[in-house]
Chain A
Amino acid sequence: MDKPPGAEGRQVSRRNLLKSAVSASSVTLIPLATSSCSTPIQPSGLVISAEARVILETFVDRIIPADDNGPGALDAGVVLYINNALANWNSNETDMLVEGLFNLARASRRRYDKEFSLLPAANKDALLRDMEDGKIEGFANSAQVFNRLHRLTLEGMFSDPYYGGNQDYAGWDLIGYPGAVMSSTPDMQRMGSRLPPLHTSAYGSDYDGD
């Protein structure tokens, strides 16, 4: 199967991302592209520190939480999608977004004297609302950072699993998108009820996720 130019779906697998995770206090850069599998990995996969990643994990978990309606962004591999995006296609945003994540963490410590990831959900959400509304002192571009991270979270949750997110089709199942197909039948355009899931990637079953 040919890869589209710019696609980096398999450069960093979910498994390797989890393997590379270290404690939240570490600030060393994690080479996300280290891999034990036979797929050749391009050496471009360095992105964010483990410390930044923990903040990002908390962020995406509050944007799309796991709940009665199914898995959330964290379960669906959205952090992996964002890592891959920031390592490649969206690399010009990495510095701004990582700085933004640290600004969010600083605001948490200042307001609650606690790490963002350790706050109760209500406090996390209060902080995120202020971030979205541009109301965090010393964090002038908070709304811009929020909007970009929010957008990347949606991209990760609802894009083809080829790119690392939407694992087990959690995002597509949530909204009722059956899956990528090469051809649709009239029945797949019927109105009035949800279509059954197909769980198909545009790049074939090899790319359906781990």
Chain B
Amino acid sequence: MAINLPETDVVVVGLGAAGGVAVLPLTRAGLNVIGLEAGTWMNPGTDYHADEIHNNVRALVTTGNKVAGEIPTVRRSPTETAVQQARHPMMNAVGGTSIHYHAQSWRLNPWDFRARSATIERYGAAYLPEDTTLEDWPVSYADMETYYDNVEYEVGVSGVAGNIQGRINPEGNIFEGPRRRDYPMPPLRSCDFLDHMLEAGRSVGYHPYHGPAAINSQPYDGRPGCQYHGYCDRGGCHVRAKNSTDVSTIPKALATGNLTVTDNANVRRIESDNTGKVTGVTYIRDGEEYFQPARAVLLGCYTYENIRLLLLSRSRFYPNGLGNNRGQVGRHYFGHWDIQGGTLVTALFPFDINIWYGAIAQGVMVDDWADDNFDHGGMGFIGGSSLHVYTEKHPIGAAAMGTFGKVERRWGSAWKDFIKINAGRTQTAYIQTNTFPYEHTWADLDPNVRDPFGDPVLRITNGPKRNEPMAAAHAADKMEAWFRAAGATDIVNTGGGAGPNLSTHAHGGTRMGLDASTSVCDPWGFSFEARNLGLIGGSVMPTAGARNPTQTLQALAWRTAQHLVEDWNGITA
């Protein structure tokens, strides 16, 4: 029998990138908030190391006890039996995966919010990808601007603005939407290689710029600037310069006195009553089951667990899962095409580029071949990819480099001579592709594989796509030209890639939209069916931009939380 706890105003499930931001506007407005987090606090002084074995090979920062037991299964068509994957891409901790992510922190561009109508206007409806369930977002870039600004200042984002109130700065991203003011911090420092790539990009007519990062480029909010030690990827920051929510927004929310963090809490169900309202959540902590009643619930797990918890939370009112009476939960899911999907363009330079140190977010970006920033007429696809070159190279990964056909085997003296010269002369670009939802790609509960509590894990069905690999292959050729202009002598270009199995950039599944028959949540992020249940995280995003999603899902989380504050009586009535 569950132990009943006293009612609170709001329960936030998951204190990661999204939940860790949502608690700030809620607690500042005076609401009492309980944050339930499956992991616990990390200690930057002892948990993080400048160590590739620790971070990358054994994934000891990113390992989470809860996620390890609920790794989704994947199949490529409905006729296959889905196979459970080896590793969950995300972690459990206060701060969640914002602890180990690259912290590239973007606004989506105005086109992203209306890709469907913009495509029809420019190219005609026949140009939309086959089988897509693409809809415009129910919010515009202009709607989002104030929340983007909040996140940039409260989380802390460094960068160079490309468009301040319509004034274009060619040092920044000329394709970005107008922002009300500059970033709170200048971009991360440059280095020889990035300067060289910037110049090379301009020489071929691209518009390269230093990408934004949720990393302090200088002391900010009482924490130091980046130390560029080169172990940012899948490692936490030893000096708290990476603005994961456990060091940025969550401490500010705790300082209001209105936030209680309950760690090691394994949330199993969101409960609902006979009218369809949610009443609270049931969780297990130290083997004991608790029921935490709340006036409103914000579900802020990773995309996979947001979907799964809804599907598992069946009730008399919701026989097919919470908020799923129209069968939309799990639909319009997709993993960002090139994240873990592999459009790889790798260059070899005839000189040492020395990118050992730095950070993945210390990089130069090109947007010319993303979104609708070029004429797609006759090309047969929409969208495109951003191109990102960056620093941070680890020695095992460097030694395991591809050999460009220059040695017969990846061992022996000839190979040893090759890596001696070339391990410090190569880089693989980071390419991210606009990705859209399709009829044939969704998430549901696996019929065979269960978690340690006996609940089914999530099953991903990834159907074949035509649009995204074409867009990615087009961008990969542009990347190749950029590397050539920078003096690369050899390039391996894998083309469009195969798409992800599981993804650190999983989107959709609880899509937000205008129409309850094709979406799970309304334009504010609240369930069309369970009105006091808000959804926050990548699961609400209708499309993926050609860039990392975190700042956008944080801005959406802020907006959903703010709406709860402003319409408290209506939502909790």
A residues contacting B by CB (< 8 A) are 2, 4-7, 62-65, 67, 69-70, 72, 89, 125, 128-129, 132, 150-151, 153-155, 157-160, 162-163, 171-172, 174-178, 180-184, 186, 188-195, 202-203
| Chain B stretch 332-366: residues in CB contact (< 8 A) with chain A | 351-358
The bracket for how many chain B residues form the interface is 35 or more
B residues contacting A by CB (< 8 A) are 46, 49-54, 57-58, 60, 189, 191-193, 196, 227-231, 238, 351-358, 391, 395-396, 398-400, 409-413, 416-417, 419-420, 423-424
Residues from chain A with a CB closer than 8 A to the CB of B411 are: 62-64, 128, 150, 153
Residues from chain A with a CB closer than 8 A to the CB of B229 are: 180-184
A159-B395, A188-B354 are known; give 5 further A-B pairs, CB within 8 A. Answer: A2-B46, A4-B54, A181-B230, A182-B227, A183-B227
A4-B60, A154-B399 are contacts. A202–B49 as well, Cβ < 8 Å? yes
In whole angstroms, how far apart are the Cα atoms of A186 and B189 in the complex? 8
- CB nearest to A147 among chain B residues: B410
In whole angstroms, how far apart are the Cα atoms of A2 and B67 in the complex? 26
Q: Are A160 and B413 in contact (CB under 8 A)?
A: no
In whole angstroms, how far apart are the Cα atoms of A132 and B410 in the complex? 10
Q: Are A189 and B355 in contact (CB under 8 A)?
A: yes
Top-5 shortest CB links A-B? A191-B192, A184-B357, A189-B191, A175-B423, A183-B227
Q: Are A155 and B351 in contact (CB under 8 A)?
A: no
A65-B413, A175-B424 are contacts. A184–B60 as well, Cβ < 8 Å? no
Residues from chain B with a CB closer than 8 A to the CB of A176 are: 352, 420, 423-424
Q: Are A154 and B391 in contact (CB under 8 A)?
A: no
Q: How near does chain A come to B505, taking the closest CB pair, in angstroms?
A: 26
Q: How near does chain B come to A89, taking the closest CB pair, in angstroms?
A: 6
Q: Are B416 and A192 in contact (CB under 8 A)?
A: no
Among the listed A128, A151, A163, A189, which residue makes an inter-chain contact with B354, where contact means beta carbons less than 8 Å apart?
A189
Q: Are A154 and B228 in contact (CB under 8 A)?
A: no
- CB nearest to A5 among chain B residues: B60
Residues from chain A with a CB closer than 8 A to the CB of B230 are: 181, 184
In whole angstroms, how far apart are the Cα atoms of A65 and B396 in the complex? 17
Q: How near does chain B come to A149, taking the closest CB pair, in angstroms?
A: 10
Residues from chain B with a CB closer than 8 A to the CB of A192 are: 192, 351-352, 354
Pick from B58, B191, B354, B411 the residue with the most CB of A within 10 Å: B411
A-B contact pairs, 16 of them (CB 8 A): A65-B413, A67-B416, A72-B416, A89-B58, A159-B53, A159-B396, A171-B399, A175-B399, A176-B352, A177-B356, A177-B395, A183-B229, A184-B227, A189-B391, A190-B191, A192-B192
In whole angstroms, how far apart are the Cα atoms of A176 and B356 in the complex? 9
Residues from chain B with a CB closer than 8 A to the CB of A190 are: 191-192, 354
Residues from chain A with a CB closer than 8 A to the CB of B50 are: 180-182, 202
Q: Are B60 and A193 in contact (CB under 8 A)?
A: no
Q: Are A182 and B238 in contact (CB under 8 A)?
A: yes
Q: How near does chain A come to B2, taking the closest CB pair, in angstroms?
A: 32
Q: How near does chain A come to B252, taking the closest CB pair, in angstroms?
A: 27
In whole angstroms, how far apart are the Cα atoms of A53 and B87 in the complex? 30
In whole angstroms, how far apart are the Cα atoms of A59 and B526 in the complex? 60
Q: Are B416 and A64 in contact (CB under 8 A)?
A: yes
Among the listed A67, A129, A160, A183, which residue makes an inter-chain contact with B51, where contact means beta carbons less than 8 Å apart?
A160
Residues from chain A with a CB closer than 8 A to the CB of B410 are: 150
Pick from B54, B57, B58, B416 the residue with the most CB of A within 10 Å: B416
Pick from B351, B391, B412, B417 the residue with the most CB of A within 10 Å: B412
A154-B400, A160-B53, A180-B50 are contacts. A174–B419 as well, Cβ < 8 Å? yes
